[in-house]
Amino acid sequence: MNPVKIHLEYAESVAVEHYAEVLGVSAEDVAYAALHDLMSHAQEPHVQQAIVRTREQRRRSLPPWSDQRPASRAPFEEETSSLSRFL
């Protein structure tokens, strides 16, 4: 297989890892499912526009789904409130 690399900010990575943990899968499984869904609709103009828009937004700030807890707290501190957004 050819690898596809994605570089995530720490807060994005933590959110993906937490979501994967909730589902009982790996972060790679989550990423593949997201890519699968995206590519299944890649010919739709609104999807293409969303890709471009997301690229521009990512340059400015973290996405709303990222784990944006204060850095002073333990990075892997279990919080059911932060996980509940995935259920």
Per-residue pLDDT of 44-64, as tens digits, reads 999 999 999 999 988 888 888
Residue 72 has pLDDT above 50, yes or no: no
Residue 73 has pLDDT above 60, yes or no: no
How many alpha carbons lie under 13 Å from residue 27 in its C-beta half-sphere?
11
Is-contact 82 69, C-beta < 8 A?
A: yes
Distance CA 56, CA 26 (A): 28
Average the pLDDT over 7-27 and give the result: 94
Task: Give the pTM.
Answer: 0.69
Cβ neighbour number for residue 18 with a 10 Å cutoff: 19
Q: Which residue has the higher pLDDT, 71 or 9?
A: 9
